[in-house]
Structure 1
Amino acid sequence: MSTSPPADTKRYLPWVVAIVMFMETLDTTIVNTAVPAMAESLQVQPLSLKAVVASYILSLAVFIPVSGWMADRFGTRRVFFSAVSLFTAASLLCGLSLNAPMLVAARLLQGAGAAMMMPVGRLAIIRTFSKAELLGAMNFVVMPALVGPLLGPTLGGLIVHFASWRVIFWVNLPVGLLALWMISRYLPDYHADAPRPLDTVGFVLFGSGVALLSWLLEIFGEHRLDLTSAGVLLLVALGLLGAYGLHASHSAWPLLKLALFRIRTFRISVGGGFVTRIGLGGMPFLLPLLYQVGLGRPAWQSGLLMMPAAAAAMTTKTMTQPILKTLGYRRVLVANTVLIGLTIGGFSLVDAATPVPAIVGLALSQGFFNSLQFSSMNTLAYADVEGPDTSMASTLASSMQQLSMSFGLAAGSLVAAWFLGEVPQTDRAQVTSALHHAFLTLAAITVLSSASFWGLRRGDGEAVSRGTSGKVVEQSA
């Protein structure tokens, strides 16, 4: 049963979830910058600390699918509170780690906590707000996904330069404590009327398959595996996921309800968003290469050049609903995906002679289009999902989003490695030219992904953009 939320829930709930999501997305990207400093402090090779990043991603991939079941069984408030507590405590342990194994173990715990935060927080938003109010509320939730990856490398570099790498993890402590206080006051406690049993077989099949696939994508391009081994492991991962698909089709209580993909708006939003995020996911990898290696700018300038996109993303939320109300989801997603591709391609024109204001203008444009895209995709996914399936839809969408992030980073690594080839990094002109080709490749992928939104119809999503429907889930006393 769902309990009545506190009186101030609608006012503060989006901020609670946004704060937690920002902490999570910032942590995901900030750690990469500190790996060299960690390796020096722990007296190990930097490559050996790749497990610090990989362990977190693997933990996320494994535990996200079970988050919906936990929320239905134990309640959104208890699970969200426990997840943030685990993430915060694990952050403390990361900073106190004395060696690499301790750090990896702490990162596993941190990833387990993070896996529960995104889908459960999103579920609380969906069940609290009506479809007419959902777009405005979800705008707060998507901001961290846009801002965190852009601020992470810059903030991480500053912390490592002026303080210890341990501070990178400890910045989560005050944020986590604030979030816990707000959760205890403002987060509603929703339970399923009849909690379903845990699909243990599905959890093993899907968890192991997605963990193996995520690991392969994480080490992609590092030449740590020969092609034969990588190919065999890829087939094993796909086989496990295929076995889960067969299992889910015959299970009364599947871990992830793949039948939700029969809902056209959910299928197009989540599936199309998966492909679109591949192009977008490579940008945080390619832009620092362009600015620092290609243009020869110091790290702090590179970080500042990525800030305009974050600023534009934060200011776009007030424009999203009027744009969607006027143009509709179909027109916005088809056209905006092309515009994102064009801005990605625009970076192929950036070289040492490009004025800084032109780079800033391009970054601002991309931040605006990215924000509109994520807000549109994330809200359309729930436009036709009814109350009993909201927790499953949130879990499935979060799982696909996590996979798309891994695919995006792998795509960025692949195209960069392909075009850079044997190009000496001391030759800035050749590096810049190679990266230009990489940007054009990601731009083409993104533009082509706009076709995935052609299946939308004119009135799709009007319950969200125009407010033509009632509650997603009625609140009961």
Structure 2
Amino acid sequence: MSVTQEPTRTAASLGRVARYGLLIGPVLSMLDSSIVNVAVPDIAHELAAGLDTVQWVVSGYLLALAVGLALTAYASRRFGTMRVYTVSMILFVAVSAVCAIAPGIGLLIAARVVQGFVGAPLVPLALSVLLGKDGVGGGKVPMSAALVLFLAPALGPTLGGLLIGAGGWRWVFLVNVPVGVLGLLLLLRLPPVGAPARPGTRFDPAGFALLAGGLVSTLLGATRGTSQGWDHAAPYVLLLVGAVLLATYWRWAGRRAQPALRLDVVRGRPAVLVLVLQVLCSVITFGTVFLVPVFTQQVQGHTALATGVALLPQGVVMGLGTALGQRLSARIPLRTLVALGFAVLALSSTVLLLLTETTPLWVTALMLCGRAAAAGLVTTPLLVAFLAPLDEGELADGNTLYSITQRLGGSVGVSILGSVAASGATTGETLDAFHLVGAILVGLAVASAGLAWRLPRPVRVGRLSGSSPAA
């Protein structure tokens, strides 16, 4: 596929078919980050493996994803946005098929590691094209893109439960094949978009090693904290090593003309604040996406299928809320919109304090819908705000850094919350621990709403304009 630039094309001129073709890759990548969680018991039973071993099907994917993200910005600059995206998509589909037919746990874990690595570029590069000033979105998040893209993470547990109930755990991977092939075919409808290849780009091996090592060590520390608890030294050592490596990379990148990932895309303190707020939003929002299924199944005794059905509405509402946030961001100043989103998150999170063993699933689903709608008011405006001052050639670095920050902060935060929720030895203690998590989430949402008022005013972010760092 050619990577040379053409005159500006907007999302409207492309049509929805081509746009959805570009979105299929990131949707599959994000789904595979969470959809496998509900399949772990079934995989362990069929492949006769221990749960500690099977957990690497999940952890291996996430750790390899971190390594792939560390390489994404360089690959995009060197070979061109759409060329890297297309190759990643092809490999992701092929490896998904290997996961589906894996006869043993060893091959499944290895295939998942490869799947995470090759799938890493899909989200940041698709966003780079969608938000490109001269690309698909013409500097604006298309409503349909917002609906689909931010719907995927919330649908992971739901879709996983439905697929396992209908055909078994192998369908969790097998479904990627026809859907991925469809996405590749629809890519043929796209004109040449995205940043072109720059053959003179140099690889930064030392910077890549520091960045990848820091990301893997930090995520591994969060994973160990979740599985082993925070009363052991290993999680803290891994987090410390990760922090040291990332801090070293920060100093290294500032002295390199072509670092593995450019950090100068963070334009001023407002951009740093945007990243902090997005991390907090990720912890507050997706903490319950992972914890509520545990609560409904272990405390309330519901099946995985019933839990999946109850979680389905929040995925739809999150997509609609994201589209609404995009529309409102053109009319309401950023600080007002984000503060409002966090305030609604705080209000809806108070319902977590009222959940009991007998709370109906529909009440839980309603609470999650309120949280999902509020998250939509925060996520898209902050993303567009962060990318606003960047040129076309900087979007891959900007989106990659945004994805890394979101995943890193979110993973550590959710891991800590998960450990708190799992601290109860009896049903009553587990319920108390879950209520404590709810109180923490409410506190974080209130603090985030106050922090949002430190964003510059007045700023509206409906379209990337290359102006304010938080515009």
After superposition, the Cα gap between the structure-2 partners of 1:224 and 1:309, relative to the gap in structure 1 and judged at 3 Å, is closer
1:134 partnered with 2:136: no
Equivalent of 2:331, from 319, 326, 332?
A: 326
Partner of 1:345: 350
Partner of 1:443: 442
Q: Which 5+ residue runs of structure 2 have no aligned equivalent?
A: none
Equivalent of 1:113, from 105, 111, 118?
A: 118
Question: What is the Cα deviation at residue 382 of structure 1?
Answer: 1.2
After superposition, the Cα gap between the structure-2 partners of 1:142 and 1:271, relative to the gap in structure 1 and judged at 3 Å, is farther
1:285 partnered with 2:302: no
CA distance in 1, matches of 2:71, 2:18: 23
Q: What letter corresponds to residue 184 of structure 1 in structure 2?
A: L
CA contact (8 A) 1:33 1:157 kept: yes
After superposition, the Cα gap between the structure-2 partners of 1:360 and 1:169, relative to the gap in structure 1 and judged at 3 Å, is closer
CA contact (8 A) 2:59 2:223 kept: yes
Partner SS for 1:348: helix
1:65 partnered with 2:70: yes
CA distance in 2, matches of 1:285, 1:179: 28
Equivalent of 1:188, from 182, 187, 192?
A: 192
After superposition, the Cα gap between the structure-2 partners of 1:63 and 1:269, relative to the gap in structure 1 and judged at 3 Å, is same
Q: Which has the higher contact order (CA 8 A, sep 6+)?
A: 1
Partner of 1:433: 432
1:260 partnered with 2:259: no
Partner of 1:459: 458
CA distance in 2, matches of 1:170, 1:136: 30
Q: Which 5+ residue runs of structure 1 have no aligned equivalent?
A: 472-477
After superposition, the Cα gap between the structure-2 partners of 1:317 and 1:414, relative to the gap in structure 1 and judged at 3 Å, is closer
Question: What is the Cα deviation at residue 47 of structure 1?
Answer: 1.7
Question: What is the Cα deviation at residue 14 of structure 1?
Answer: 3.4
When the two structures are superposed, what TM-score results if normalisation uses the length of structure 1?
Answer: 0.88
Partner SS for 2:6: coil
CA contact (8 A) 2:342 2:445 kept: yes
Partner of 2:6: 4
Question: What is the Cα deviation at residue 331 of structure 1?
Answer: 0.4
Q: What letter corresponds to residue 61 of structure 1 in structure 2?
A: A
CA contact (8 A) 1:10 1:129 kept: no
Identity %: 26
When the two structures are superposed, what TM-score results if normalisation uses the length of structure 2?
Answer: 0.89
1:385 partnered with 2:384: no
Question: What is the Cα deviation at residue 213 of structure 1?
Answer: 1.0
CA distance in 2, matches of 1:254, 1:260: 12
CA distance in 2, matches of 1:270, 1:438: 23
CA contact (8 A) 2:280 2:448 kept: yes
CA distance in 1, matches of 2:295, 2:54: 25
CA contact (8 A) 2:317 2:369 kept: yes
CA distance in 2, matches of 1:400, 1:442: 19
Partner of 2:420: 415
After superposition, the Cα gap between the structure-2 partners of 1:136 and 1:262, relative to the gap in structure 1 and judged at 3 Å, is closer
CA distance in 1, matches of 2:229, 2:372: 35
Q: 4+ residue runs of structure 1 moved beyond 6 angstroms?
A: none
Partner of 2:54: 49
Partner SS for 1:326: coil
Partner SS for 1:221: helix
1:169 partnered with 2:168: no
CA contact (8 A) 1:29 1:148 kept: no
Question: What is the Cα deviation at residue 208 of structure 1?
Answer: 0.8
Partner SS for 2:192: coil
CA contact (8 A) 1:202 1:247 kept: yes
Equivalent of 2:164, from 143, 160, 181?
A: 160
1:33 partnered with 2:38: yes
Partner SS for 2:383: helix
1:343-364 CA deviation, whole Å, 9 max, x = no partner?
Answer: 1222212335545554443232
Structure 1, 79-88 or 235-244: larger mean CA deviation: 235-244
After superposition, the Cα gap between the structure-2 partners of 1:99 and 1:331, relative to the gap in structure 1 and judged at 3 Å, is same
Q: What letter corresponds to residue 180 of structure 2 in structure 1?
A: G
Partner SS for 2:228: coil
After superposition, the Cα gap between the structure-2 partners of 1:195 and 1:332, relative to the gap in structure 1 and judged at 3 Å, is farther
Partner SS for 1:259: coil
CA distance in 2, matches of 1:114, 1:348: 37
After superposition, the Cα gap between the structure-2 partners of 1:297 and 1:187, relative to the gap in structure 1 and judged at 3 Å, is farther
CA contact (8 A) 2:150 2:318 kept: yes
Question: What is the Cα deviation at residue 210 of structure 1?
Answer: 0.8
Partner of 1:316: 321
Question: What is the Cα deviation at residue 251 of structure 1?
Answer: 1.2
Question: What is the Cα deviation at residue 163 of structure 1?
Answer: 1.9
After superposition, the Cα gap between the structure-2 partners of 1:470 and 1:271, relative to the gap in structure 1 and judged at 3 Å, is closer
> Which structure: greater helix fraction?
1
1:101 partnered with 2:100: no
CA distance in 1, matches of 2:273, 2:140: 18
Question: What is the Cα deviation at residue 146 of structure 1?
Answer: 4.0
Instruction: Give the aligned length.
Output: 462
1:147 partnered with 2:147: no
After superposition, the Cα gap between the structure-2 partners of 1:321 and 1:119, relative to the gap in structure 1 and judged at 3 Å, is closer
After superposition, the Cα gap between the structure-2 partners of 1:234 and 1:27, relative to the gap in structure 1 and judged at 3 Å, is closer
CA distance in 2, matches of 1:317, 1:149: 13
CA contact (8 A) 2:325 2:377 kept: yes
Question: What is the Cα deviation at residue 323 of structure 1?
Answer: 2.2
CA distance in 2, matches of 1:113, 1:223: 29
